[in-house]
């Protein structure tokens, strides 16, 4: 079969591989729609995962089941499914402890385009199919459904990590597709004033549509100053981090955070030796400003729950999709869009 | 001063009382808008609190501060304020333990028209003014603001007690004004499918506007059967109880609740010796169906947080207000509306 | 193979069955020690699970692995293992949601002597061996290890359900082996005053050894009166229920519970149509007295964690074991002990 | 009255001041026993709070009430009381939100020897006496009781921040008096293996007595290497930080922490611009290694709860007290002990 792969750091291209074998608990899926992710960009051009050779890229997909293992009960060939980016081993100790995304080791629930071939191929392999696939509701747009694989669960998990409560004032740093889902999730979780930090007009417009009450453009002044100003010196109750850097962003978040607040980070920190936590703004370690960060929870239940937010009309995913392509041939083009981030981009998707 | 009071069980009327004295930490407030509550009805006509003589009724009000004690720092005469129905003693052991609504004993954070004169008077007394009043935002409608005293915090607390999470399927039993705020709160907290149980057309219409995805009319069949049918036998993740009886409602809630679910009760149970929990539907005590019920949290922070949901555009309170009166003279009429519950009633308010 | 079975309601006896087959993920285990449980008694003589024919009894065991499926990675024949009473399907939706004990339906993580043959046999089957077995530490006494299958996790889960915090005053109702583990667990979780309700001298002595500060003997007066007296009218912060009835015990628990308190029930309620919750002591549904009850969490991680409490010297299980038998022949005798509960019994075990 | 004060950075001495005035809600207390704290040392010799002139030092005391304000109900002159180091304003917004230690601003619940005169004086002032004092149980040793003001609540809060659960393997970094209370608290909260990091023999002996199962001496090798070795490469579930530096300690904690773990910091970080969080050991921000740090909760309820751990026999404080002095004259000597930390010191106390 054909797959679009990372050949080595900095190089991508089409390769031929054997179609993956299907274990007793597993499924083989043929993609219907896939989307490239910033982490594919980090993987290829920054070597974030180290050197990889001929690894098929991609971890955002919806598809059609073509084969299932003999122990699979709930899925059969022909089923149209949403495939989460994170597909845990559900019996692992980490999963039993509530952290399935780290099954087998920190971050090891993330398999596609990390430990094994990803979804940018004619076929891909899903472990523990009953536990890791979710039926795509009839009538759901495949491109929108594809956003449920990673963008929605990652953005929404930032909101969970920040533990947003009714009436909280919240700052979301970063309004790419994950940050926008952080905005939508915060609004859906009962936040009041939502300060969204970003600069690109397309993203700003979407942020407002998803529930941001104020936009803080970092090109127009310091984030901290602007937010302290907007909040009359009070700061915010919670911060969701979906962009920025190891060195600077957490310090900004702490400077605007009230004591007793929480930071929920879902930005994959790709560089910097240390994340810097300014001692004084952190209350000399005594300020009850909790710093949490984590990979999105994957698996079937999570997919079903988030999907139901779309089918029940709570969440409109169409706004994320600025670029739609048809056919495998556009895989590289779509990936390069994520790399180059043109002004009008939020998220591209390739329909197959 | 004049006040509209419970004279004895079953009797109400206007009485004359001394204007209350203002302690060091307290405030005296003149009402701008007040609303009668079902619990006023229980108090007067069912004797739910026992016999009371010449106790001024009412615990839902916004008003204007006319006097403050010498230790009050943040409020002054002339300030327009929202007054929560629950006004805790914040230094009490219960408050320190996180249950301020029970400061001084179970339910004892509820003072107005319970332990002391209520708000249906020319003036009323607020203990610990700095901790129990919230400024009414400029431009907010006084009738709508009045819904923040009890309806919003009670309905929203049901949602908190049920611990609703992203994508949960939820049933709200009862769609009077508190239940409607349960619906609004559940939608604002990330519920997906919302099954609202009720029958009056005015309430049904409001429930849909506040986010109910299905209406279950108990006049058209059993609640349990209808919901199990709608959910294809799966039941719901969480239940908010805002109506019904001690004998029947919890059993219905348990029958539709998945293991691991929660019931959040905010219905004041006025009669029945026991609340009945069907053993088998409760999993013989082993089903992890948690039963929680509690009085709304009061105090200033809560009022400010809920108020910010209105000012940030997340919550529209106008739909609750079906009957508006002008002037103290309409107090009795408005209370009788709550007693008689005509078809077109959700909530009356008296503007003064 | 031979197994000691429930033949029908009220009848037990030895039967012959095929040795169970081993699936890809499973193990076949030969018991080294087993213990009968009160629930075996309920099953046989009260028909608590309905009529069952020729179902092998028992769900508390340690054993030696004799066979594993081809997908099992962490266990091999010859391994000595602790087998939890609850062996979930870890990929199920309930498990993903944090309630593995209800995988496949309420209580359905409980399989042994419920849905399938139990452990009172020459061999028994364990589903998902990697996820449901735990290595028995070298040198651990097999009889004591057998208490980790059900008694420890059930008693300790009562403490978790009650959410005991530093310095809480706690009442434990029932001091059979589960209640005693509730006492030990409460002390290990930071409770201060521990009021243990029971009457048998052997159990009382053990309760004191496990950390009870006061014994409340229900034969010497009402539980409620005694505890309110001992607490100078204040009541307790939390209650763990490990004994009593559907009709009476929850009412007693609520009467002594402070607002904001929690009940953690781990008593399998075998009779009564309804669990009775006295309306007034429950604060008319408004008292924040949370009622929680649930089956013990099973699986490997839980077993490893609880086992480590024994190996690290925090928990001494020897006190539970009042009756030790050697050999399969004593199975019936040990079961009848649980039925008849002689004065000097806490828990019997049969070493094979 | 006489008080032992910080005269300026680096200088201490006795001064004369007016006896403080007693507000309506307050109390004036005469100390019976006081203890110096490392933070007094930071304040004076490191200028941690900035320059202060003639500020009376000390925030750990038990005493006798000599005067109460007219609104105080539960205390009267002659009462012997435990005074928490943190005395919040209970009506503040922060207190209502569950973070009373930050009432009025981050860390501002800490008043003694920070914003106002401390307890090393003939008399000192306590705000909101009913909410901030706790009766000292009859017969309790005043020196031991004095440990309840800061050492116990701070160490135990580290355990709470780390959210220790049954069977967790835990590392406590630092075994001065706070760290030792971290050890005791972790054991009392259900930890299994407790790895205590320290080097002084007196502290090591106490750590073992309080429940440490292994001592990790940083003079004998790297902390990380030793703990990874002891845990066979698995690391620990939780870490409590009660010592170390901004630059190094959090990195060590993260390196030994499993994904899904938590750090609970109660070490006042007195220097360093940034707390350093190594990006890779933090899972690139995705590892669910939560970093929490906070000031001890103060107030009456907390004091009563922790005191009950002593009176119920769960906690023995005598081991902390290595140096007892009699009389005010020894104040300076005792403070210098904290500064110089001789080998045999855990904690000094001055009985008056």
Cβ–Cβ gap B301/D93 under 8 Å = yes
Q: Based on the domain organization, do D146 and D8 belong to the same domain?
A: yes
Q: Based on the domain organization, do C101 and C142 belong to the same domain?
A: yes
pLDDT given for residue A51 in this prediction: 87
Q: Give yes or no for A347 touching C (CB within 8 A).
A: no
CB-closest option in A94, A101, A292 to D290: A292
Q: Mean of the pLDDT values across residues A220-246?
A: 97
Q: Based on the domain organization, do C305 and C239 belong to the same domain?
A: no
Give CA–CA dist D134/D65, Å, rounded: 11
Per-residue pLDDT reduced to its tens digit, D248-258: 999 999 999 99
Q: Mean of the pLDDT values across residues A83-108?
A: 98
CB-closest option in A267, A275, A286 to D268: A286
Q: Based on the domain organization, do D121 and D161 belong to the same domain?
A: no
Q: Is the pLDDT of residue A48 over 90?
A: no
Tell me the two tokens of residue A122.
């004619």
Q: Give yes or no for A43 touching D (CB within 8 A).
A: no
Q: Is the pLDDT of residue B51 over 90?
A: no
Cβ–Cβ gap B312/A156 under 8 Å = no
Cβ–Cβ gap B91/D90 under 8 Å = yes
pLDDT given for residue C65 in this prediction: 98
Give CA–CA dist B203/B173, Å, rounded: 12
Number of helices and strands (H, E) in chain B?
Answer: 11, 17
Cβ–Cβ gap C160/D166 under 8 Å = yes
Ranking A234-238, C191-195, D45-49, D59-63 by mean pLDDT, the lowest is D45-49
pLDDT given for residue D50 in this prediction: 86
pLDDT given for residue C76 in this prediction: 98
Q: Is the pLDDT of residue D5 over 90?
A: yes
Instruction: Identify whether the C-beta of residue D69 lies closer than 8 Å to the C-beta of residue D126.
Output: no
Q: Based on the domain organization, do D162 and D134 belong to the same domain?
A: no
DSSP B70-89: TT--S--TT-EEEE-SB---
Q: Based on the domain organization, do D162 and D146 belong to the same domain?
A: no
pLDDT given for residue B47 in this prediction: 85
Query: Across all residues in chain A, what is the average pLDDT?
Result: 97
Q: Based on the domain organization, do A94 and A213 belong to the same domain?
A: no
pLDDT given for residue A331 in this prediction: 94
Q: Is the pLDDT of residue D132 over 90?
A: yes
Helix or strand (DSSP H, E) at B251: helix B249-256
pLDDT given for residue D77 in this prediction: 98
Q: Give yes or no for B259 touching A (CB within 8 A).
A: no
pLDDT given for residue C51 in this prediction: 87
Domain count, chain D: 2
Please provide residue C85's backbone torsions phi and psi, each rounded to the nearest 5 degrees: -60, -30
Q: Give yes or no for B262 touching A (CB within 8 A).
A: no
- HSE value, Cβ hemisphere, 13 Å, CA-based, for C232: 1
Give CA–CA dist C285/A341, Å, rounded: 55
Work out the pLDDT band at D60, boundaries 50, 70, 90. Answer: very high
Per-residue pLDDT reduced to its tens digit, A105-147: 999 999 999 989 999 999 999 999 999 999 999 999 999 999 9
Instruction: Identify whether the C-beta of residue D329 lies closer than 8 Å to the C-beta of residue D174.
Output: no
Predicted-complex ipTM score: 0.97
Give the number of other Cβ atoms within 10 Å of residue A273's Cβ: 13
Q: Is the pLDDT of residue D48 over 90?
A: no
Per-residue pLDDT reduced to its tens digit, C273-287: 999 999 999 999 999
Give CA–CA dist A111/A6, Å, rounded: 15
Structural domain range at position A61 = 2-150+296-351
pLDDT given for residue B304 in this prediction: 98
* B257 vs A41 pLDDT, higher one: B257
Final residue of a structural domain among B272, B293, B314: B293
Per-residue pLDDT reduced to its tens digit, C25-51: 999 999 999 999 988 998 899 888 888
- HSE value, Cβ hemisphere, 13 Å, CA-based, for D285: 28
pLDDT given for residue B283 in this prediction: 97
* Probe site for chain D from C297, C312, C316 (most D CB atoms < 10 A): C312
Nearby residues of B325 by Cβ (< 8 Å), 6 or more positions away: B333, B334, B348, B349, B350, B351
Give CA–CA dist C296/D232, Å, rounded: 29
Beta bridge partners of B278: C274
Q: Is the pLDDT of residue D35 over 90?
A: yes
Instruction: Identify whether the C-beta of residue D21 lies closer than 8 Å to the C-beta of residue D116.
Output: no
Spell D80-105 as b/e; 16+ CB within 10 A means b: bbbbbbbbbbbbbbbbbbebbbbbee
Q: Based on the domain organization, do D59 and D144 belong to the same domain?
A: yes
Q: Mean of the pLDDT values across residues C320-343?
A: 95
Terminal alpha carbon distance of chain B: 15
* B193 vs B42 pLDDT, higher one: B193
Q: Based on the domain organization, do A13 and A115 belong to the same domain?
A: yes
pLDDT given for residue D47 in this prediction: 84
**CA dihedral for A280, A286, A289, A294, sign (positive or negative):** positive
The most distant pair of C-alpha atoms in chain C lies apart, rounded to whole Å, by 62
Cβ–Cβ gap A290/D290 under 8 Å = yes
Q: Mean of the pLDDT values across residues B26-34?
A: 98
How are beta strands B27-35 and B124-126 bridged, if at all? antiparallel
Final residue of a structural domain among D274, D293, D312: D293
CB-closest option in B193, B194, B314 to A192: B314
Q: Based on the domain organization, do D204 and D280 belong to the same domain?
A: yes
Beta bridge partners of B171: B195, B239
CB-closest option in C167, C309, C311 to D305: C167
Per-residue pLDDT reduced to its tens digit, D175-228: 999 999 999 999 999 999 999 999 999 999 999 999 999 999 999 999 999 999
D45: DSSP letter: I
Tell me the two tokens of residue B195.
């099954």
Q: Based on the domain organization, do D260 and D321 belong to the same domain?
A: no
pLDDT given for residue A317 in this prediction: 98
Cβ–Cβ gap A131/C301 under 8 Å = no
Give the number of other Cβ atoms within 10 Å of residue D199's Cβ: 13
Q: Mean of the pLDDT values across residues B245-252?
A: 97
Final residue of a structural domain among D293, D319, D339: D293
DSSP D71-106: T--S--TT-EEEE-SB---TTSHHHHTT-GGGTTST
Domain of residue B276, CATH code? 3.40.50.720
**CA dihedral for C262, C265, C271, C273, sign (positive or negative):** positive
Give CA–CA dist C66/D16, Å, rounded: 81
CA distances from C233 to B105, B344, C224, C255, C279 (A): 12, 48, 10, 11, 20
CA dihedral B248, B254, B255, B259 (to 10 degrees): -170
Tell me the two tokens of residue C109.
């993580």
Per-residue pLDDT reduced to its tens digit, B195-242: 999 999 999 999 999 999 999 999 999 999 999 999 999 999 999 999
Q: Mean of the pLDDT values across residues A293-314?
A: 98
Terminal alpha carbon distance of chain A: 15
Give CA–CA dist D221/D242, Å, rounded: 19
* Stated pTM of the model: 0.98
Q: Is the pLDDT of residue D162 over 90?
A: yes
* CA C302 to chain CA mean position, Å: 13
Q: Mean of the pLDDT values across residues C314-334?
A: 96
Q: Mean of the pLDDT values across residues A220-226?
A: 96
Q: Which of residues 286-305 of C touch A (CB under 8 A)?
A: 299-302, 304
Q: Which of residues 147-186 of C touch D (CB under 8 A)?
A: 156, 160, 165-169, 185
B199: DSSP letter: -
CA distances from C307 to C137, C139, C314, D172 (A): 8, 12, 10, 21
Work out the pLDDT band at B46, boundaries 50, 70, 90. Answer: confident
Domain of residue B332, CATH code? 3.90.180.10
Instruction: Identify whether the C-beta of residue D328 lies closer than 8 Å to the C-beta of residue D184.
Output: no
Instruction: Give me the percent of chain A exceeding a pLDDT of 70.
Output: 100
Q: Based on the domain organization, do A266 and A314 belong to the same domain?
A: no
Tell me the two tokens of residue D47.
């200028």
3-state SS class at D205: helix
Helix or strand (DSSP H, E) at A125: strand A124-126
Q: Give yes or no for A21 touching C (CB within 8 A).
A: no
* CA D246 to chain CA mean position, Å: 18
Tell me the two tokens of residue D263.
């750090």
DSSP C301-340: HHHHHHHHHHHTTS---GGGEEEEEESGGGHHHHHHHHHH
pLDDT given for residue D51 in this prediction: 87
Rounded to 10 deg, the angle between the C223-230 and C249-256 helix axes is: 20
pLDDT given for residue D283 in this prediction: 97
pLDDT given for residue B71 in this prediction: 97
């Amino acid at each position: 079969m054909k797959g679009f792969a990372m050949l080595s750091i900095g190089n991508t291209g089409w390769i031929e591989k054997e179609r993956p074998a299907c274990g007793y608990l597993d499924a083989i899926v043929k993609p219907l729609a896939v989307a490239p992710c910033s982490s594919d960009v980090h993987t290829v051009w920054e070597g974030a995962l180290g050197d990889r050779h001929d690894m098929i890229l991609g971890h955002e997909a919806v598809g059609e089941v073509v084969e299932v293992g003999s122990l699979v009960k709930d899925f059969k060939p022909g089923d149209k499914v949403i495939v989460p980016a994170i597909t845990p081993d559900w019996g692992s100790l980490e999963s039993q402890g509530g952290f399935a995304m780290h099954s087998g080791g920190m971050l090891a629930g993330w398999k596609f385009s990390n430990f094994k071939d990803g979804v940018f191929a004619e076929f891909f392999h899903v472990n523990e199919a009953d536990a890791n696939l979710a039926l795509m509701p009839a009538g759901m747009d495949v491109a929108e459904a594809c956003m449920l694989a990673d963008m929605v669960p990652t953005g929404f998990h930032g909101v969970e990590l920040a533990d947003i409560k009714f009436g909280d004032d919240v700052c979301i740093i970063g309004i790419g597709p994950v940050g926008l889902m952080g905005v939508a999730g915060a609004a859906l979780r009962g936040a009041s004033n939502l300060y969204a930090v970003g600069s690109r007009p397309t993203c700003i417009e979407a942020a407002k549509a998803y529930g941001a009450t104020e936009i803080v453009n970092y090109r127009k002044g310091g984030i901290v100053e602007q937010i302290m100003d907007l909040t009359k010196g009070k700061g915010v109750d919670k911060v969701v981090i979906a962009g920025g850097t190891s060195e600077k962003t957490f310090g900004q978040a702490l400077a605007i955070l009230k004591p007793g607040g929480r930071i929920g980070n879902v930005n994959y920190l790709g560089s910097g030796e240390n994340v810097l936590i300014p001692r004084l703004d952190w209350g000399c370690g005594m300020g009850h400003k909790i710093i949490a960060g984590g990979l999105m929870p994957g698996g079937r239940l999570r997919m079903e729950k988030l999907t139901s937010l779309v089918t029940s009309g709570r969440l409109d995913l169409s706004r994320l999709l600025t670029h739609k392509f048809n056919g495998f041939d556009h895989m590289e083009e779509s990936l390069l869009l994520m790399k180059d981030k043109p002004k009008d981009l939020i998220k591209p998707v390739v329909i197959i």
